[in-house]
Amino acid sequence: MKNKNNTINLLEEAQKIESYLVEKRKEVFDISKNNYQSIKYKNFNGLLSGFKYKKLPEELLKKLEPSIKEIEVLKNKALLYREKRDIIIENYKANDVPINTLDPKTDIIPEGIYPKLNNNCIYSLRGSCDSGQNTTSFWARCEFMKYDLSKSPFDAKRWRCTYEG
């Protein structure tokens, strides 16, 4: 459970940073556009490109430098949080115990909450026709178990065995 909470916290932090970045980028662009109407860039990415290639007025370059550095640091921090989250999830998946799938032809399938529909079934080792799962195994519903659409979904006898053997 600790890993799940940790991944949720990392994702939430990354999303908070990303939403702050959207506002910060908009703010930096608006301030630049309002103070320097002569700049031709239409969005922050254009402004960032002009900053990187030093195609902006020297005064604006100096004003933008701290904000752009902050944006880059926060962007990298959000990426790091997402990467850490992905690593935790991958480790969790790698350490997860695989569940065994039972084969009704060769494995004994325990009785379930519903009785076996047909005792003359091809699968004599099945204790129940329904699907199920316990701590170590999973088993699928018998392929001969079909839903009778003419009956109510609340009718316990809506399932029938279609095996004819």
Q: What is the pLDDT of residues 47-106, one digit of tens each?
A: 999 999 999 999 999 999 999 999 999 999 999 999 998 888 888 777 776 678 888 888
Whether 124 and 159 share a structural domain:
yes
Q: Examine the domain organization and report whether 31 and 52 are in the same domain.
A: yes
Mean pLDDT to the nearest integer, 99-128: 83
Gyration radius (Cα) of the chain, Å: 31
Q: Are residues 118 and 91 in the same domain?
A: no
| Verdict on whether the full-model pTM lies above 0.85 | no
Is residue 158 exposed (0-12), middle (13-18) or buried (19+ Cβ within 10 Å)?
Answer: middle
Range of the domain at 55: 2-95
Band of residue 44 on the pLDDT scale cut at 50, 70, 90: very high
Number of domains in the chain: 2
Q: Within this chain, do residues 120 and 72 fall inside the same structural domain, yes or no?
A: no
Is the pLDDT confidence value at 2 over 60? no
